[in-house]
Amino acid sequence: MKKLNVKNNEAAIYGVGGLGEIGKNTYGIQFQDEIILIDAGIKFPEDDLLGVDYVIPDYQYLVENKDKIKALVITHGHEDHIGGVPYLMKVLNVPIYAGPLAMALIKNKLEEHGLLNSVELHEISDKSVLKFRKMKVSFFRTTHSIPDTVGIAVHTPVGVIVETGDYKFDLTPVTNQPPDLQEMARLGAEGVLCLMSDSTNAEKPIWTHSEKWVGNSIAHIFDNIQERIIFATFASNISRIKTACDNAMAHGRKIAVFGRSMDAAIVNGRELGYLDIPDDAFVDAHELQSLPANKTLILCTGSQGEPMAALSRIANGTHRQISIQPGDTVIFSSNPIPGNTTSVNSVINKLEEAGANVIHGRVNNIHTSGHGGQEEQKLMLRLMKPKFFMPIHGEYRMLKIHTELAEQCGVPLDHSFIMQNGDVLALSKDNARMAGHFTAGDVYIDGSGIGDVGNVVLRDRQLLSEEGIVVVVATINLDNQEIQSGPDILSRGFVYMRESGELLDEGRRRVFKTIRKSMRAKKATESSIRSAVIDDLQEFLYDKTERHPMILPMLIMNGKEQ
């Protein structure tokens, strides 16, 4: 078991995920034999992670210390903070504490994974206090792009450690949950030992616009459209969904909802009181045909260009119930996440080609970030007045800029710590120091597989995508040193077989000679013959094409040595 280099009178803080990256937020605060976990998120894969669905942290350190973990507390219900919960619970069944909306979303995830009845769940509010033998956890309300967002204060024997979660200072939120500035100031006045704060927008010297500002822009757009409106946004953005639905009802439009996650968001939002939408405001897909275009709003997923989301299928003409009509207005009420820009632009182009008018981008004022800019980050620092500072949730350059902001707000630069996942910061009442490191790499989720896709598999997928594959098929009798059939060569993604007959014929002759030579060697085996075929054919094909396709020999072995 990995033992931290932390003294008995020190608290330890670390990121299992979320440091040097956007996503995978999973943080630990530890004092002696008690650990409080904050969030359990996923990260969406970059383009080079071919076929990978999600990335989660390596939970090995937590598994080795599972008896010390007292709680998993959740700041809010976004995927980069709760998406890893079911995977964590499969290896580490600990009590979960979350606000109403986050809890509803977590229950859905646990049910999908067959874990709902085996996990201890506790709903909390910003006024809740959790007491453990050596530590205490309290909460304070923040604002983000989803309701029930809280920051977390962990009270340890050496001082209070605050983790903000994702936040901005929205003083006019449409959900009527303003940030609790008084509680933040009270924590700061009583003394914060260390502040762990969201760094996402540390590069932006702004005060992020309020959701009310976006609402005014959307209201203006609805006022000027007389045809059908298709509105795409994140299913988790209840505030934006509320704005769209309120404007639809104000203009006498009926609402049709498409996308499983959007359906779930509407159900959860109505049950928890965030969406005040009567039953008769909704219509089914088949009812849309009988309604005038200016009396309908289609609310759907797909604002990030996801291939299987409702909007992408509408754009491609493959949606079973909805197709673009001339005069339709499609509103993208979100900005593309880094890496999704190409997909989003492709969907926009297809919608425009089909005759729709597409409203998107910052110029139309139809989206605002859920993360505070530099001015809000400085306000958080001034309210909390921390002795030490650890920027979280951001790539390295964002963390670095955030420490510079902290210095401007009175935190000495040598009291700020830019850390990587697995780094441990030890805190006493007056000092902070780096105290070792544990392994905290990435684990890939591919379908139902967890961690069974590694670098070798990804390298193979990369090779297949770039160079293609060549399959060699032959039947061999090793006892008689005889090739009974073949070899045949099949190409997929390498060369077009119909136009490359001469190359493939020469390749077959070369492989035939290689197999015969390999069979005559002492202690010849299927493995040695396969290796010889791969080496020889790779060399031959590179000489002819300057490409390195994957070579896959399929040898059918006859005889006693098969």
53 among annotated binding-site residues: yes
From 371, 402, 415, 536, active-site residue: 371
76 among annotated binding-site residues: yes
CB-based burial label for 203 (10 Å; 0-12, 13-18, 19+) = middle
Neighbours of 481 (CB within 10 A): 15
* CA 221 to centroid of chain Cα atoms: 31
Contact present, 190 and 178 (Cβ < 8 Å): no
Which pairs count as long-range contacts for 187-190, CB under 8 Å and 24+ apart, including other chains? Answer: 187/140, 187/153, 187/160, 187/162, 187/383, 187/384, 188/382, 188/383, 188/384, 188/385, 188/386, 189/385, 190/160
237 among annotated binding-site residues: yes
Q: Give just the sign of the alpha carbon dihedral 540, 545, 549, 555.
A: negative
236 among annotated binding-site residues: yes
From 39, 58, 170, 198, active-site residue: 198
- Tokens 């996440």 correspond to 337
**Cα–Cα distances in Å, from 26 out to 6, 44, 302?**
20, 15, 27
Contact present, 37 and 449 (Cβ < 8 Å): no
235 among annotated binding-site residues: yes
319 among annotated binding-site residues: no
371 among annotated binding-site residues: yes
Contact present, 167 and 81 (Cβ < 8 Å): no
> Among 61, 73, 93, which Cα is nearest to 136's?
73
Amino acid letter, 277: I
Is 371 labeled as catalytic in the residue annotation? Answer: yes
Contact present, 265 and 239 (Cβ < 8 Å): no
> Which three-class secondary structure state does DSSP give residue 496?
coil
Q: Which residues pair with 164 in a beta bridge?
A: none
166 among annotated binding-site residues: yes
**Cα–Cα distances in Å, from 538 out to 139, 534, 550?**
61, 6, 8
**Helix or strand run (H / E) with residue 494:** none
CA angle 2, 4, 6 (to 5 degrees): 165
440 among annotated binding-site residues: no
Enter the tokens of residue 212. Answer: 């009310």
Is 286 labeled as catalytic in the residue annotation? Answer: no
- Tokens 């390195």 correspond to 548
361 among annotated binding-site residues: no
Please tell me the distance from the alpha carbon of residue 490 to that of residue 557, in angstroms, as a whole number.
19
Q: Are strands 229-232 and 329-332 parallel, antiparallel or unpaired?
A: parallel
446 among annotated binding-site residues: yes
500 among annotated binding-site residues: no
81 among annotated binding-site residues: yes
Please tell me the distance from the alpha carbon of residue 267 to that of residue 426, in angstroms, as a whole number.
44
Contact present, 15 and 26 (Cβ < 8 Å): yes
155 among annotated binding-site residues: no
Length of the chain: 562
367 among annotated binding-site residues: yes
318 among annotated binding-site residues: no
Residue ranges of the annotated binding site for substrate are 235-237, 367-371
Residue ranges of the annotated binding site for Ca(2+) are 51, 53, 446
Residue ranges of the annotated binding site for Zn(2+) are 76, 78, 80-81, 144, 166, 393
Residue ranges of the annotated binding site are 51, 53, 76, 78, 80-81, 144, 166, 235-237, 367-371, 393, 446
What amino acid positions are annotated as catalytic residues? 198, 371
